[in-house]
Amino acid sequence: MTVAQPDALTFECETGNYHTFCPISCVAWLYQKIEDSFFLVIGTKTCGYFLQNALGVMIFAEPRYAMAELEEGDISAQLNDYEELKRLCLQIKRDRNPSVIVWIGTCTTEIIKMDLEGLAPKLESEIGIPIVVARANGLDYAFTQGEDTVLAAMALRCPEKAPEAEKEERSGIQKLLNFGKKNEVVVKEESEYVAHPPLILFGSLPDPVVTQLTLELKKQGIKVSGWLPAKRFTELPSIEEGYYVAGVNPFLSRTATTLMRRRKCKLIGAPFPIGPDGTRAWIEKICSVFNITPKGLDEREAQIWESLEDYVKLIRGKSVFFMGDNLLEVSLARFLVRCGMSVNEIGIPYMDKRYQAAELALLESTCKEMGVPIPKIVEKPDNYNQIQRIYDMKPDLVITGMAHANPLEARGINTKWSVEFTFAQIHGFTNARDILELVTRPLRRNNNLKDLGWDKLVREEAKI
């Protein structure tokens, strides 16, 4: 029997629960990105165990984060929250002297109703170090939304006006790009920019990716006035009313809302720069807002697709199922459809249809253009029901959280951890290859096993 395929995106919501990695793990990449910061996670020993395991690869580093472990006395209100946090923050100031301390609230601080926002201003004035409060509890937020709450809080700390001496170069990235150049070269490069309102980009990306995206916009004559977050808290970009802002990740809806409502910025609603198609659409939308005709993007995208063909041929015609974990699912699904895959279902913990409107529209048009069924999007999926659908649909690959990977593999289903896409460099034209490296790895592994044969594989492992 032939089942009629939907001709438009359909949305469902199942359990109302989040089945995702814990959002306090945002500390892992944010403390490295903001070099003069210190992150204090306020939670129980369980949170500490999680951070020890999740960030265990950094055991030989000297991280700028710590746990403020809540004891029975804290939970039963026998201890003074203010005095305990003051003691810890003074120790942090003495040992590290950071430019900012970020308090990360957890599930426990929510349950016992700790007034972190009320304690922070008084303590900040007393110790002389800015204290930013961000809630990253797993009750209200999915995995990557931990970063969203931190950036939304930091958006309120951006200066309203830049000092006169810094107006020419509002961001640390511009200083980096001009490092070692003669003044006349810098002046010549400044003349390459088109006159347009200031543009702020938000989203935490590795420095090489920040440089790549900044240069891609520079090729179109667009100057990036700053990034949120900056490499240092003291270099946060100035944000004035009327500035334009654009996000680079689909999980930053709270930050976008804060910038629009509290800082009176204008949001550029664009697809996200993930994959050659998404990066091109992101640049084109920014250009259209500033009345700039983009140049060279056809050739740029075609060149990238040509370089990806050795990976694309491995997945062309295959199917993928997203269980939902990091809110990158829609962007990744759209890119994989463009690569020739079909998507059985997109599970996603949280969907902000306004912030992701351009990405959803691009997904729909891409499916129609590639001639594949438009996938159903399931918000807060019930994992039990999803597994039944996986058994029925028999996808070639399931992108899932770590909890389900091994059980699915044991049943002969190829999986890939969704968390790997969070920590990999996947933005921009040149990093599309890294996405396909991750996607094709389980498929290439299976091909190698078939070529070797199990008996030969055992012998090879014995030699090793």
Of the chain, the percentage scoring pLDDT greater than 70 comes to: 85
Same domain, yes or no: 318 and 436: yes
Decide if 90 is inside a domain. Answer: yes
Q: Which of 89-103, 162-176, 294-308, 351-365 has the lowest mean pLDDT?
A: 162-176
Average pLDDT over residues 123-133: 96
Same domain, yes or no: 110 and 122: yes
pLDDT tens digits along 220-231? 999 999 999 999
Does pLDDT of 454 surpass 80? no
Same domain, yes or no: 304 and 443: yes
Decide if 107 is inside a domain. Answer: yes
Same domain, yes or no: 43 and 86: yes
* Domain CATH for 86: 3.40.50.1980
Same domain, yes or no: 221 and 187: yes
Same domain, yes or no: 73 and 220: no
Structure tokens at 20: 């995702």
Query: Which residues on adjacent β-strands are paired with residue 320?
Result: 343, 397
Same domain, yes or no: 304 and 231: no
Q: Dihedral angle at the C-alpha atoms of 223, 225, 229, 234, nearest 10 degrees?
A: 140
Q: How confident is the model at residue 2 (pLDDT cuts 50, 70, 90)?
A: very low
pLDDT tens digits along 66-105? 888 877 656 556 567 888 899 999 999 999 999 999 999 9
Average pLDDT over residues 171-194: 61
Provide the 3-class DSSP secondary structure of residue 354.
Answer: coil
Alpha-carbon distance of 81 to 105, in angstroms, equals 13
Of the chain, the percentage scoring pLDDT greater than 90 comes to: 68
Provide the 3-class DSSP secondary structure of residue 199.
Answer: strand
pLDDT tens digits along 37-50? 999 999 888 888 88
Q: What's the pTM?
A: 0.88
Same domain, yes or no: 238 and 375: no
Average pLDDT over residues 264-269: 97
pLDDT of 460: 54
pLDDT of 15: 86
**Domain end (from 141, 157, 185):** 141
Tally of domains in the chain? 3
Higher-pLDDT residue of 146 and 8 is 146
pLDDT of 56: 61
Alpha-carbon distance of 264 to 258, in angstroms, equals 9
pLDDT of 163: 55
Average pLDDT over residues 103-125: 92
Decide if 126 is inside a domain. Answer: yes
User: Residue type at 210?
Assistant: V
pLDDT of 179: 61
Q: Which of 96, 107, 359 minimizes the C-alpha distance to 251?
A: 359
Domain that holds residue 111: 23-141
Edge-first strand listing for the sheet containing 244-247: 224-228, 199-202, 244-247, 266-267
pLDDT of 45: 87
Structure tokens at 45: 């020993």
pLDDT of 178: 61
Q: From residue 34, how far is each of 56, 121, 317, 336, 443 by CA, in Å?
A: 20, 21, 42, 32, 37
Same domain, yes or no: 285 and 324: no
329 near 439, Cβ under 8 Å?
A: no
Decide if 18 is inside a domain. Answer: no
pLDDT tens digits along 324-378? 999 999 999 999 999 999 999 999 999 999 999 999 999 999 999 999 999 999 9
Does pLDDT of 171 surpass 70? no
**Domain end (from 141, 165, 182):** 141
pLDDT of 393: 95
Provide the 3-class DSSP secondary structure of residue 1.
Answer: coil
Same domain, yes or no: 303 and 449: yes
Q: Which helix (H) or strand (E) holds 416?
A: strand 415-417
Structure tokens at 153: 């809080």
Q: How confident is the model at residue 191 (pLDDT cuts 50, 70, 90)?
A: low
Decide if 274 is inside a domain. Answer: yes
Q: Which of 287, 257, 315, 322 minimizes the C-alpha distance to 444?
A: 315
Decide if 437 is inside a domain. Answer: yes
Strands 244-247 and 266-267 turn out to be parallel
Residue 182: how many CB atoms within 10 A of its CB?
A: 9
Average pLDDT over residues 102-122: 91
Average pLDDT over residues 388-398: 95
Distance of CA 208 to the CA centre of its chain: 15
Q: Which of 227, 224, 222 minimizes the C-alpha distance to 203?
A: 227
pLDDT of 1: 39
Q: Which of 121-130, 251-260, 442-451 has the lowest mean pLDDT?
A: 442-451
> 411: buried, middle or exposed (CB in 10 Å: 19+, 13-18, 0-12)?
exposed
Q: From residue 2, how far is each of 5, 373, 427 by CA, in Å?
A: 9, 13, 38
Average pLDDT over residues 394-417: 92
326 near 418, Cβ under 8 Å?
A: yes
Same domain, yes or no: 267 and 305: no
pLDDT of 39: 94
343 near 332, Cβ under 8 Å?
A: no
Average pLDDT over residues 101-115: 91
Average pLDDT over residues 190-198: 85
pLDDT of 459: 42
Decide if 271 is inside a domain. Answer: yes
**Residue-wise burial string across 331-362, b where 16 or more C-beta atoms lie within 10 A, e elsewhere:** bbbbbbbbbebbbbbbbbbbbeeebbebbbeb
Alpha-carbon distance of 46 to 44, in angstroms, equals 5
320 near 351, Cβ under 8 Å?
A: no
**Domain end (from 232, 263, 295):** 295
Decide if 55 is inside a domain. Answer: yes
pLDDT of 21: 84
pLDDT of 67: 86
Same domain, yes or no: 204 and 260: yes
